[in-house]
């Protein structure tokens, strides 16, 4: 009986160990191709961000093309692709008078390093530091976080508050999403990167907008609603009816742009 139990334990231990070691491949899906701004966003300026742990990251800064409103939007992307996928949103925001910084994390878009919760936060800090060093006042800065990037933006806002915060399709914490998609695995026990959004948003008092799709199959809509409910400051909730996680309605829609515009009006 003991031998059979040990064999079963060993059979379980091997895949769980593999999952522990390889789990970040199930979380982060970087496009490693270096994006070319000329092909997707001709107004973008190539810049370099310097992280606290010594990495040099490529990013784009986009100047306003419409009448300037004096507000800058720092876009923290989700777990897939690269900054060229966020170019349409940046273009629309620039036309509304915003300056925009499109960040790519370590390991994405030809950047050195490997993504992790700690690493992504360091990258976001570097992007904020670049903007502040170039004259952007923190109270004229909006953090925009998309999906996993909403977790990064929330963590950054908890330690370095912006003027406003836009969270697109936020989850309550990464384990809650993992448990939804892998119900048979002990996700909370094994997960290395936590991203506790709901816990952190309860400490943040800046004006916040939460945007999510009612048909999201990646981040359950009720999790985004729970994040909004946990916010300590004033919060506006925008549900985009019928939108799934990666639909255009959640990438560059009128509702998304309007959420940023309305939030910026609170900063004037």
Q: What is the pLDDT of residue 175?
A: 94
Per-residue model confidence as pLDDT tens digits over 106-149: 999 999 999 999 999 999 999 999 999 999 999 999 999 999 99
CATH number of the domain that residue 173 is part of:
3.40.50.1820
Q: Number of structural domains, the chain?
A: 1
Closest CA to 26 of 148, 112, 200: 148
In sequence order, which residues have a C-beta less than 8 Å from that of residue 17 and are 6 or more positions away? none
How much of the chain, in percent, has pLDDT values that exceed 90?
82
The answer to whether residue 226 scores a pLDDT higher than 90 is: yes
Domain containing residue 222: 2-265
Q: DSSP letters along 32-97, please?
A: -SPP-HHHH-TTEEEEEEE-TTS-EEEEEEE--SSS--S-EEEEE--SEE-GGGGHHHHHHHHHTT
* Residues present in the chain in total: 268
Reported pTM: 0.92
């Amino acid at each position: 009986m003991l031998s059979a139990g040990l064999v079963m334990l060993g059979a379980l231990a091997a895949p769980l160990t593999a999952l522990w070691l390889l789990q970040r491949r199930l979380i982060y899906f970087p496009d490693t191709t270096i994006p070319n701004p000329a092909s997707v966003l001709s107004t973008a300026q190539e810049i370099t961000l310097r992280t606290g742990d010594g990495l040099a990251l490529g990013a784009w800064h986009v100047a306003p093309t419409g009448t300037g409103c004096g507000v800058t939007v720092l876009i923290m992307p989700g777990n897939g692709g690269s900054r060229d996928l966020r170019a349409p949103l940046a273009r629309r925001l620039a036309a509304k008078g915003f300056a925009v910084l499109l960040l790519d994390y370590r390991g994405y878009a030809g950047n050195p390093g490997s993504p992790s919760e700690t690493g992504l936060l360091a990258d976001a800090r570097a992007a904020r530091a670049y903007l502040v060093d170039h004259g952007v006042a923190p109270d004229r800065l909006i953090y925009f976080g998309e999906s996993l990037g909403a977790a990064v933006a929330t963590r950054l806002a908890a330690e370095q508050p912006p003027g406003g915060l836009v969270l697109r399709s936020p989850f309550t914490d990464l384990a809650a999403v993992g448990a939804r998609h892998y119900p048979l695995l002990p996700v909370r026990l094994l997960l290395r990167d936590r991203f506790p959004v709901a816990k952190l948003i309860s400490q943040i008092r800046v004006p916040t907008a939460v945007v999510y799709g009612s048909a999201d199959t990646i981040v359950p809509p009720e999790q985004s609603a729970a994040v909004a409910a946990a916010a300590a400051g004033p919060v506006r909730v925008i549900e985009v009816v019928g939108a799934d996680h990666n639909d255009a309605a959640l990438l560059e829609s009128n509702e998304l742009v309007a959420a940023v515009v309305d939030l910026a009006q609170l900063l004037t």
